[in-house]
Amino acid sequence: MEPTHLFELVIAMFLAIIALHYAAHRLGLPPSVALLTGGALLAFVPGLPAISVDPELVLVIFLPPLLMDGAWAIALARLRRHMIGIASLAVGAVLFTCAVVAVVAHLIFPSLPWAACAALGAIVAPPDAVSARAVLERVKLPRRLQILLEGESLLNDASGLVLFRFAVAAAAAATGAFSAGEAIGSFFVLALGGAVVGVVVGTAWVKLVRRLGDEYLIIAATVLLGWISYLLGELLHVSGVIATVTTGLIASWHQHTVFSAATRMRGTSFWTVMIFLMEASVFTLIGLSLRDVVERGGGLTTVIATMGLPMLAILVTLVVARFAWVFASDLVIRFCAALGVTRVQPLGAGGATVLSWAGVRGVITLALALSLPEGFPGRDFILATSFAVILGTVLVQGTTLGRVIAWARLVETETERARLTMSQAEVAMVQAQLGTVQSLAYDAEGKLIHPQLLDRYQRRATVIVDYAERTEHYKPVLHAHFDVVLEAVATGRRELIRLHRAGDIDDETLDELERDLDLEELSAISAKA
């Protein structure tokens, strides 16, 4: 394919993404479902060239920024608090699922070497960070379940990658034996090395940002951060996934102190659009790659006839294995609680069901399956099964997770609630600001030199304290108030544009005053939420 045609195809894919996202919004479907289905349908459009996905390139392009985004947005305090549960899912559940899938695959195809069965297990075992986020964006979960799923999706890719590489190496060896113990030991070494690389890169970024001074250079350096950490980790033969996540956690912790307000607003806007296009492209590429998978299997009819039942058996095994691990872990927690060990509270049947049902697979599964070398035992079956697992989990679990959550009737536990509400935090913030203004409102002789500023902050503090004490009383009035503010902003914007179109003001004046209106509008929208 010529470079210009490839570029045209990329632009067409972005246009399709916008159309599919809009269709999903109008139909009330998760965007991931529309993108995956739309990509699969586009793959068989007559005349459209076959899309050949390079798995290594997919991992390098998409995985680092998406992992970085997840680490940037995750609640670090809750991540530390629930690290045992996250590790249980990211390591324990992946190992258990890999083993169960390998056993079932070997029972279905006794001639398939154990190493190939283990490779299939490693490919389909880890739920995907991109798929998990695409599903979780549309549902409301208690904080504990949210952090367990987010933390698992960030860290379990490392477990799956290590198991996969050991299984492929074992299949290439003469014996075909797979050593789970060696793989586990290697995982912890690679994870520790990745964490060290992440700390070094994250610390270097903090020092660099404090010296750059230019907001566009800071944004550019931050955008490149995930790729730098991932590539450096892989270059040093440690876990690039853990390196990227560690770097993201460090950058997220320090961004509140090293970013200016302008940098944060502009950087967030750019980053949000970039991540949106990347996430959407991943699901579309997965759908487009269906054609290649079907052609390798001899056509859709042949694939379904010869592999349909085995693929369904693997998919069911995958779901059952996750349920078994989650419910068994919750049972252990209940047993420990009965013995007086109450550090971790059990999830309960509803929480365990939601956590089990949320294991959606995606780009990692596809990339690992496509990276299997030619001639690998059972390669066609593994490819077809991997795609079936992605389709099944996204289309079935992704579309029904909201109903499962509604059925579970989950409630937020007291231990997961923050000590202060948003209104109480705002009171503390405004009172601190008032203290600073009070100390600076007078000159050295004690004369008041900023009376209007002091009066403004005093009135603001009084109003916010009253609002925090009677929030429910003020909510309707507050919404009506900011509705008027938004109408006033819209009127001001129309007048500003009229003055500009009439030639009464120049572009610089338009941009400056429009930015003020934008900030006022965003503030009003945020206050209404």
For the stretch 471-528, pLDDT in tens is 777 778 778 888 898 899 899 989 989 988 888 888 888 888 888 888 888 888 877 7
Give the separation between CA 351 and CA 145, rounded to whole angstroms: 7
Whether the per-residue pLDDT at 441 is higher than 80: the answer is: yes
- Work out the mean pLDDT of the chain and round it to a whole number: 84
Please list, in sequence order, all residues whose beta carbon lies within 8 angstroms of the beta carbon of residue 107, skipping any fewer than 6 positions away.
none
- The answer to which of 74-83, 103-112, 223-232, 269-278 has the lowest mean pLDDT is 74-83
- The position carrying tokens 């159309």 is 19
DSSP type of residue 503: T
In this prediction, residue 270 has a pLDDT band, given cuts at 50, 70 and 90, of very high
Please list, in sequence order, all residues whose beta carbon lies within 8 angstroms of the beta carbon of residue 510, skipping any fewer than 6 positions away.
496, 497, 499, 500
Given a contact cutoff of 8 angstroms between Cβ atoms, the answer to whether 76 and 252 are in contact is yes
Average pLDDT value for residue range 171-181? 60
Residue 503, φ and ψ in degrees, nearest 5: 85, 15
65 CB-contact burial (10 Å; exposed 0-12 / middle 13-18 / buried 19+): buried
Whether the per-residue pLDDT at 178 is higher than 60: the answer is: no
pTM of the complete model: 0.79
Number of other residues whose CB lies within 10 A of the CB of residue 55: 17
In this prediction, residue 183 has a pLDDT band, given cuts at 50, 70 and 90, of low
In this prediction, residue 157 has a pLDDT band, given cuts at 50, 70 and 90, of confident
* Residue ranges of domains in the chain, CATH in brackets: 52-414 (1.20.1530.20), 422-528 (no CATH)
Give the separation between CA 167 and CA 94, rounded to whole angstroms: 14
- For 17, what's the count of Cα atoms within 13 Å in the CB-facing half-sphere? 20
Give the separation between CA 356 and CA 177, rounded to whole angstroms: 31
User: What is the per-residue pLDDT for 131?
Assistant: 63
Strand-pairing partners, residue 508, are none
Whether the per-residue pLDDT at 176 is higher than 60: the answer is: no
In this prediction, residue 179 has a pLDDT band, given cuts at 50, 70 and 90, of low
Is 124 or 336 the better-scoring residue by pLDDT? 124
Three-class SS of residue 144? helix
Three-class SS of residue 267? helix
Number of other residues whose CB lies within 10 A of the CB of residue 251: 25
Strand-pairing partners, residue 442, are 448
Distances (CA, A) of 515 to 305, 477, 495, 509, 519: 61, 27, 14, 10, 6
- Which tokens in the block code for residue 250? 């460090």
User: What is the per-residue pLDDT for 320?
Assistant: 95
**CA-wise closest residue to 89 among 145, 15, 16:** 145
**CA-wise closest residue to 196 among 132, 259, 242, 251:** 242
